[in-house]
Amino acid sequence: MMNSKKILLVQLFSNGDCLYATTVARQIKQDFPNCYLTWAITSSCKSIIENNPFVDDVMIVNDVAKDDIIAFRKFKKNVLKQKSEKIFDEIFITQIMDENQAFYDGCIRSNILRGYPFPITVPIKPVLKLKTEEINVASNFANEHNFSKYKNVILFEFAPQSGQLKMTKDIALQISEKLVSDGNTAIVMSSGIKIFHNNPAIIDGSKLNLRETCALTHHCTFLLGTSSGITWLSTSDGAKQLPMVQILNAQTDWVNPISRDFERYHLPSDHVIELIDFDLDKIIKCVCLALENFEEAKLRFNQPIPLHFKTSRKIIYNLLCYLQFNAIGKYIKVNREVYGNNFKLYFEVISAFVVFPFKLIKNLVTKNL
């Protein structure tokens, strides 16, 4: 143990991304037996790795904002210096910033796992070890709100932080009111937004933290999600895997559909329905049918997620700003390995080079103004 390696894993945010990275922590412990693993993470996400058997210590980093590439590069320079000073023997950076954007291939999990330079051979299921008190909080919450009287209890992730979908509180309430109108269904509206409603079947889930919400999946029967943190929590080893309907914006930049992710890792997805038409009537009909006959609802409503490479322009622009031509080559190679010689990919890459100087000038002028 005296000669064990001291390793730093850098995955600062967000909650779902940190969940994916728990696989990397597990892999590090396998690849470097007896190592001492420190995880660099923001205070807002540190609860994700509490009680994690593969993490020995936590480095809290609060001076790097989510989209502040300059602050991140400065932080990276500082930790790499710590490696040269032998404070850490190895440093692995999985955060999707700077040159790591080159690993994006339409799935966030694969992007993060590629940030680790060695093969992933451990199970990829995210690791989230619940505490007894968290399990008890969820159980008490279920009893307080009489879950047992309902045939269906839906966990509704309605305020995603992932950028997958923009949904207002009012729209979420409209959906909830329709779904509970049968008297057999309750909905836990899960977000940081407090919900006040006179119908006891519409339940405010904001009082539960993420880990307690994970524990609550064991008391629910269904998930209405938006491919954000709660959705991915439900795929962890601390959760109960629920049948789900996912409402997605297929044209968002960093698209991350659960169906594509599961297909990539050969995971079963027969319990997943995805909707890309943000149509309230269709959402309600789909969920209502899925509660009675999931297989038929999937056949009738499931919508394939179209493949696009619009994120390529953003990634190439970001890499060109720092003249990271090797990373650009890596990005093309990664996506060619997954999608072959796709014309749309090459078109977006070439377009990114063409518009780069104009976009750079515009951004500089806007910044100066």
Give yes or no for a contact between 237 and 127, defined as CB atoms under 8 angstroms apart.
yes
Q: Please tell me the predicted confidence (pLDDT) of residue 162.
A: 53
Q: Please tell me the predicted confidence (pLDDT) of residue 1.
A: 39
CA distance 60 to 62: 6
Least Cα distance to 27 among 125, 108, 97 occurs for: 125
Least Cα distance to 200 among 146, 158, 140 occurs for: 146
Residue 332 vs residues 107, 270, 296, 356, 357: alpha-carbon distances, Å: 15, 31, 39, 17, 20
Which fold does the domain 132-301 belong to in CATH?
Rossmann fold (3.40.50)
Q: Tally the residues of the chain.
A: 369
Give yes or no for a contact between 251 and 164, defined as CB atoms under 8 angstroms apart.
no
Which fold does the domain 6-114 belong to in CATH?
Rossmann fold (3.40.50)
Domain edges within the chain: 6-114, 132-301, 316-368
Q: Does the fold of domain 132-301 match that of domain 6-114?
A: yes
Long-range contacts of 338-345 (CB under 8 A, 24+ apart): 338/105, 338/106, 339/105, 339/307, 342/309, 344/307, 344/308, 344/309, 345/309, 345/312
Task: Tell me phi and psi for residue 364, to 5 degrees.
Answer: -65, -45
Helix 343-368 vs helix 310-321: angle between axes, to the nearest 10 degrees?
Answer: 50
Could you identify the residue written with the tokens 């919508």? 303
Q: Please tell me the predicted confidence (pLDDT) of residue 369.
A: 47
Q: Please tell me the predicted confidence (pLDDT) of residue 2.
A: 45
Q: Please tell me the predicted confidence (pLDDT) of residue 165.
A: 61
User: Using one digit for the tens of pLDDT, what is the confidence trace for 28-50?
Assistant: 999 999 999 999 999 999 999 99
Q: Please tell me the predicted confidence (pLDDT) of residue 252.
A: 85
Give every CB contact of residue 107 below 8 A, 6+ residues apart in sequence. Answer: 256, 260, 261, 264
Q: Which residues of the chain have pLDDT under 70?
A: 1-3, 160-166, 367-369
